[in-house]
Structure 1
């Protein structure tokens, strides 16, 4: 059980402390990256996206269209930069399109 603080604490600070003490950051990063992919790529790409998986610093994206996969492969670094910027920290270093 977490120790009780006598001083007042803002909700954002309390949530940050809760996330850190329970080691939930990696799980939240996975959710945030999936949401960022949906927001940045739009409906056209999302319709062909079958799964998104983050393992360590690599994002695996499964696409049902080989043509789209080829098109996205030309801009991998730009996609990585956009996703990291959307999340606010450098989570992804490598993007694998399947």
Structure 2
């Protein structure tokens, strides 16, 4: 049985503690990265995005347009920086466009 604390705790602090205790950070990072991609890239890119996967520190994005893939490949570092800023921590170190 879990130990009960009698001190008052903010709900955000309790959730952070729960996430750390149960080692859920990696799973939440995967969801947050996909949401950040959708938010930052806009409808034009999202219409051609078929898959987004985060494995270790590499983000794999599958695109259905070879022309768009080529265009985005020129700004990979900028995309990585934007996504990391949106997430508030450095999760992505490498971006692979497929």
Calculate the TM-score normalised by the size of structure 2. Answer: 0.98
1:73 corresponds to = 73
1:57 corresponds to = 57
Gaps of 5+ in 2: none
Q: Deviations over 1:21-46 (max 9, x none)?
A: 00000000000000000000000000
Within a 5 Å distance, the mapping from 1:13-92 to structure 2 comes to 13-92=13-92
Gaps of 5+ in 1: none
The structural deviation recorded for 1:3 is: 1.4
Calculate the TM-score normalised by the size of structure 1. Answer: 0.98
**Number of matched pairs:** 98
The structural deviation recorded for 1:2 is: 2.6
Runs of 4+ in 1 over 6 A off after TM superposition: none
1:4 corresponds to = 4
Query: Alpha carbon RMSD of aligned pairs, Å?
Result: 0.5
